[in-house]
A and B are shown apart, each in its own frame.
Chain A
Amino acid sequence: MNEFLERKVRLTWGEQKPTYDVVIIGGGGHGLSTAYHLATRHGITNVAVLERKYIGGGNSGRNTTVIRSNYGVPESIRFYQRSVELYQRLEEETDRWIMHKQKGILWTVHTEAGLRQERARSFINQANGVNTEFLTPEEITEIAPEIDLNVGGGKYPVLGASYQAAASTARHDRVNWALAEGAMRHGVDVLQRTEVIDLIRDGDRVVGVRTNHGDISAPVVVSAVGGHVTRIMDMAGLRIPIRTHPLQAFVTNHYERKFDPIASSLDLGFYVSQTARGEMLAGAHIDQQPSYSYRSGHHFLSSIAHNIQMFLPFMRDLRILRQWTGICDMSPDYTPIMGRTPVDGLLITTGWGTWGFKAIPAGGEAMAELIATGRTPELIAPFSLDRFRNDRTLADRSSSGTH
């Protein structure tokens, strides 16, 4: 008996039609969530989701599955908190086991500057309805006695941590599938192995897409692409402020399930949690060199191994099972870009950097509302592309989990 076998989701694949009301490029979490919310909230079902490979095969299936809302600016805190709440009921709503589990996230600090930053985070979170606390080292030990507070023999002492108890994880694949199934049930066509070759334009408008299986016309085209969004925008003659960087992660073999929280040290450059299957899962900062490459690197693994075993000494003797790489669309202010573009008929949801998975429910919900009503929901209005032109960026690097 394999307790983690996917036993319920039923995927019903569509076939490409020449016309849809909405075409969504990208069958990852955000594309599927947008389709799901269009179908379930707005009754818009003549929708196609186009996926170049297989659904959830990009970063939606490569991330480290952390769900949290401990951001640094009110606009983001509110948005991610909406997503945390939607995740809490996604299992019930879809009647599918997404392995959602509340774990709490610790962001430990090892310098005075870090301490001030995380204490400040607790203030702004609490003022915006997110109960992030600032913990003393003793309180950290109560939550995670495995952490060596005297990291590196006292070189990097743990001075405190911000802690969001409501933070959780869910199985990324299952989230993608539950949303895909929900959309499919209402008649949405999810088309795998369907690659967008070009956008079809009529004057200044985008009116459809050209795929490897033929043309599709649609009054609304949404780019929910991860990794290659700049290339899709190129097709519309748009330049957007995104750079794509690899981010690497690894899991160990399976061990007794005992380590409860998500523990993170941005200073030492990693975050780690234990999956439902008992693997210790760890991720790091993005690679500094922009790239579309999925190739894994050795230096990432050795440097993170060194830091992790100083922080969580029991991990020294755990065996590494597998490493992999995702690619992250980094926006200049470490905040997503959602909504209209200067090209009519073309909407965008991107800039999901290292924080896209946690935003899947709220991101799809908001994009669907924008498509259905023609009005940008207040929750995502601050994330519009024109904020860069309008000097209204939302700088929040310290909340991204990378630098």
Chain B
Amino acid sequence: MSQMFDFAGTDVAFIDGDSVLTALVRAGIYPAGGGALCCEGDCPHCVATIDGISYVRTCQTAPHENLKVQPHPIDDYPPLPPDRGYGAPPIEYRQCDVVVIGQGESGREASDRATTSGRMVESFDANRGEEVIGIYDGPMVIARTPERIIHVDCEEIVVATGAAELQPACPGNDLVGIVTGRAALRLVAQGVGLGVTVAVGKPPNDLDCEVVEGTLVRFEGVDGRLAAVVTRTESGEERTPCDTAVLNLGIYPRDGLARMGNGLAVSVVGDAGRDATVPPCPSEGVICPCNNVDVDDLQAVWDRGFHEIELVKRATLAGTGTCQGMACMPYLRSFLADRGAALQPPFTARPVARQLTIGEMSAGEYDRPVPRTPLHGEHLALGATMDRIGGWWRPWTYGELGAEYEAVRERVSIGDVSTLGKMIVSGPDAESFLEYIYPTNISTIESGRSRYVLMLNERGYVFDDGLVSREADGTFSLTFTSGGASHAEMWMRDWGSKYDVRMLNQSMSLAAINVTGPLAKELLAKAGVVDPPPYMGHADVQVAGVPCKVFRLSFTGELSFELHHAIDRSVELWRSLLDLGGEFGIYPHGLEALQLLRLEKGHILVGIDTDFDSTPRRIQHEWACKIDKPTDFLGRPSVVRTNEIPLDRLLVGFRTERPTVDGALLYSNGEYCGYVTSAGWSPTLGHGISMAWLYHGSDGQLPGDVEIDGTTATRVPMPFYDPEGVKARA
């Protein structure tokens, strides 16, 4: 019993050795209408939709039961496919010395030669269902098979892709019944009857056919089917009736992959490397079957000044379809050479040489990893909404913004700040190195003390901030912003190469929990900390049995302790603090609450409140940029220079009586004068607070009060909350 696949609702039988195309032709079906079939993947005349994927070459597809083939619509492009959910085939990574592409005679020889000389060889051949889709830097070869994508890293690539048989370029070349010599052999071998067969040019050996004399002029047909071949001989035109015309118009190298590999370790053997002699210039007929470009079209753009092959390609779109120029390139080149533009090299060969789906191209891909803190599971268990912030998954809110805020301001709260960049700098030059990196005084930081620092680039613009702490042993521990940490580390290592320093990145090995609120000291006391460090000090202590380096600083504005500890103790410490804090009404806070709390304190968030070109002066942080400090520091020449330039804008605070949002615009007397970088409604103060860029007016003066969202906003100094810092120092 023969096997069947489905073509547009009709069963089509297939036998061993068939491609989908040979089975279809046996059944009298031409899936893409007419055109000279090549059966070798060179032409676009057999493409169809197979199992929902359009533009598949049926000649390169092996049939199987249940396969569903649909022709493309005649008058439109194929429909967009339905949503089938995410999918990607497996990928296989291979390594070898030599990849040989093509396993015809020259390809097999190349493989044998390489194998004999002891090199490890991988080979691909489209006839085995392995389509090479591109050669990339490396060199690297990507191939697709129906089951998988194969990625091969190698030392060397041999292109042995052979040559394609020329397509006919004459009227009637879109009829059914035209085949190349190789296609004829293939069809006959599969038992497909060709009917009355004539050959133009020398036919393949063993093919039973009549050879017509002369050069091809046109094909004539009835109802889209070939009826006769017309040739020109010395005695004039000759019409030869037939069912099938077998063409041997010459061959043209399949050099796409070879050209794609230009500049890489790629060699070409066999017909793929032969001289690309172009055929005679055609006078009529379609030359680009993919985009239906004929000789008249070429002439039309030629006559209007399009002479460069790339311009002709772009003006006609010849060469930009499924076959990527395989059918038209010889004729495009011969046309331009004939018209006097010299023989131009082929246009650029680009991946992909054979098509594959976006799903197939996704093989081996994965979501870019977004790091989680050790407390990720704790946040989820508490019902937190997670968000990606600064390159990490972080808790945005635990669902009770008000409760989170209130716990910090009135009782005690904990927050996960494990994402902070953390680094130890040690070595003889540690201090002088940090003096150069930071625009603040480092030598005056006493052992056991910490200082807030900005980081400036060479242009004197702020790109990060953090804390520098001096340890008892003379080393320094630094923190960076969560999102800026990896850049800051590169920055440190780059500039540090001239110093005798060692740097240890602890960002991933240490977690950190911020204990904050008026009752923070009481909570720590319950956790066994009897003598916590003073404000802007730090100490190594055990908290609930967990060894911590405790920093006392404040981002929220309340009494705060940042507990840095080993990641494997983090869950234990978090749970202990929540447990012990129960009696104080502890509640954790997420990023949304933290952003409001710090806004009340006027603390900037680098990257949100600052921009690419924020100088310390613009963000009112000149106090953190000691321009007169005894040693030079990065960015100082720029800071000195830009300080001489009139200021154009300032980061300032506004009080509003109605809530506003980030990005809201500032107006002064109807003129735009800036925008809000951070906005919030302060429950403690009972009014809206904003940090905003305020631009100087054309008179060079900073506007005073402005309008935000149509109501007056009053410029007020920051911090908005506890300006004297009494709470943080409590």
Contact = CB atoms under 8 A, between A and B. Distances in A.
B355 A320 contact: yes
Contact of A321 (B263, B352, B367): B352
A120 B85 contact: no
A399 to B, nearest CB: 12
Contact of A256 (B79, B363, B612): B79
B308 interface: yes
Interface in A52-74: 53-57, 61, 74
Contacts of B664: 123
A253 B87 contact: no
Contacts of B83: 146, 148, 313-314, 316
A55 B308 CA distance: 10
Contact of B77 (A1, A173, A254): A254
B320 A322 contact: yes
Contacts of A315: 358
B388 A111 contact: yes
B22 to A, nearest CB: 22
Contacts of A393: 612-613
A148 B84 CA distance: 12
B365 interface: yes
A10 B311 CA distance: 12
A236 to B, nearest CB: 23
Interface stretch (B297-305, B330-338, B535-543): B297-305
Interface string B341-367: 000000010111001111101111111
Interface stretch (B50-58, B167-175, B622-630, B650-658): B50-58
A124 interface: yes
Given A5-B300, A318-B358, A10 B316 contact: no
B480 to A, nearest CB: 18
A288 B339 CA distance: 44
Interface string B286-324: 000001110001001100111010110011110011101
> For the complex, would chain B's binding face be called helix, strand, loop or mixed by DSSP majority?
loop
B378 interface: no
Contacts of A2: 291-293, 297, 316-317
Contacts, number: 226
Contact of B675 (A5, A120, A146): A120
Nearest to B137: A295
A241 to B, nearest CB: 10
Contacts of B80: 255-256, 258-259, 314, 318
Interface in A109-148: 110-113, 116-117, 119-124, 127-128, 146, 148
B724 interface: no
Interface in A2-18: 2, 4-13
B6 to A, nearest CB: 18
Nearest to A123: B663
A319 B356 contact: yes
A200 interface: no
Contacts of A322: 320, 324, 350-352
Q: Which of B291, B297, B306, B351 has the most CB of A within 10 A?
A: B351
A309 interface: yes
B140 interface: yes
A79 interface: no
Nearest to B87: A316
Contact of B672 (A4, A7, A74): A74
Interface in B156-194: none
A1 B142 contact: no
B317 A55 contact: no
Interface string B586-621: 000001100000000000000010011101000000
Contacts of B315: 5-6, 9, 173, 177
A395 B612 contact: yes
Interface in A351-398: 390-393, 395, 397
Interface string A296-311: 1110011101101110
Contacts of A53: 310
Given A1-B292, A155-B367, A278 B77 contact: yes
Interface residues of B, number: 83
B305 A119 contact: no
B387 interface: yes
B86 A314 contact: no
B78 interface: yes
B308 to A, nearest CB: 4
B362 A391 contact: no
A317 B645 contact: no
B142 A324 contact: no
B310 A323 contact: no
B62 interface: no
Contacts of A290: none
B76 A256 contact: yes
A91 interface: no
B645 A391 contact: yes
A252 to B, nearest CB: 7
A6 B313 CA distance: 11
B421 interface: no
A301 B351 contact: yes
Given A1-B292, A112-B389, A253 B322 contact: yes
A303 B86 contact: no
A332 interface: yes
A306 B300 contact: no
A152 B367 CA distance: 9
A320 B52 CA distance: 15
B663 A124 contact: yes
A257 interface: yes
Given A54-B310, A123-B675, A397-B612, A305 B362 contact: yes
Contacts of B351: 296, 298, 301, 322-323
A13 to B, nearest CB: 6
A2 B675 CA distance: 51
Given A123-B665, A314-B81, A320 B305 contact: no
Interface string B58-97: 0000000000000000001111111111111000000000
A320 B361 contact: yes
Contacts of B615: 391
A198 to B, nearest CB: 25
Nearest to A6: B315
Contact of B366 (A54, A252, A257, A306): A306
Identify which of A192, A257, A314 gathers the most chain B CB atoms within 10 Å of its CB: A314
Contact of A4 (B142, B317, B352): B317
Contact of B661 (A119, A254, A258): A119
A54 B308 contact: yes
B210 to A, nearest CB: 35
Given A54-B311, A395-B612, A320 B642 contact: no
Contacts of A254: 77-78, 321
A316 B83 CA distance: 8
B568 interface: no
Interface string A32-61: 000000000000000000000111110001
A112 B311 CA distance: 46
Contacts of A260: none
A120 B663 contact: yes
Nearest to B676: A120
Contacts of B592: 112
A193 to B, nearest CB: 9
A205 B509 CA distance: 59
Contacts of A57: 310
Contacts of A255: 54, 77-80
A313 B86 contact: yes
B662 A323 contact: no
Given A313-B84, A317-B81, 12 more contacts: A5-B317, A54-B311, A112-B387, A123-B663, A255-B80, A256-B78, A306-B365, A317-B358, A319-B56, A319-B355, A333-B612, A392-B648
- The 10 closest A-B CB pairs, nearest first, are A120-B663, A11-B305, A306-B365, A395-B612, A305-B361, A6-B315, A317-B81, A313-B83, A316-B359, A319-B355
8 contacts: A5-B297, A6-B304, A112-B396, A116-B663, A173-B315, A259-B80, A297-B136, A302-B361
